């Protein structure tokens, strides 16, 4: 088979997660995201963190994740990707 899952996709995955967890992602993209998650441990850890964050955020307010929070999660993911 070709190349493995490209790591540069991770940032795209992060951008799609909100819609994915919301169930509003189109099936084809959702499947791509799932496939990526199967081969990407950092992203799985990210999803778990993300879910926990959403839960925490909901506790405060029922709104979308602020861009600022997204950035922090993104940094978290990049940190994990370094090693
Ligand atoms: Zn990934």
25-29, 43-47, 51-55, 68-72 — most confident range:
25-29
How many A from CA of 78 to the centre of ligand 1? 10
Is 33 among the domain residues?
Answer: yes
Domain total of the chain = 1
Whether the model pTM is above 0.85 = no
Cα 56 to ligand 1 centre (Å): 23
Domain assignment present for residue 3? The answer is no
- Cα of 52 vs centre of ligand 1, distance in Å, is 18
Angle between helices 9-22 and 67-82 (to 10 degrees): 130
Classified as helix, coil or strand, 28 is: helix
- Quickly state the pLDDT bin for 1 (edges 50, 70, 90): very low
Structural domain contains residue 1: no
Q: Which tokens go with 78?
A: 């990049």
Instruction: Let me know if residue 65 belongs to a domain.
Output: yes
Domain span at 74: 9-82
């Amino acid at each position: 088979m070709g190349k493995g899952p490209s790591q540069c996709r991770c940032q795209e995955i992060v951008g799609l997660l909100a819609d994915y967890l919301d169930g509003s992602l189109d099936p084809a993209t959702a499947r791509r995201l799932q496939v990526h998650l199967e081969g990407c441990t950092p992203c799985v850890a990210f999803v778990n963190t993300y879910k926990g964050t959403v839960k925490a955020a909901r506790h405060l307010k029922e709104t979308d994740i602020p861009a600022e929070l997204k950035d922090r999660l993104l940094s978290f993911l990049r940190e994990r990707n370094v090693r």
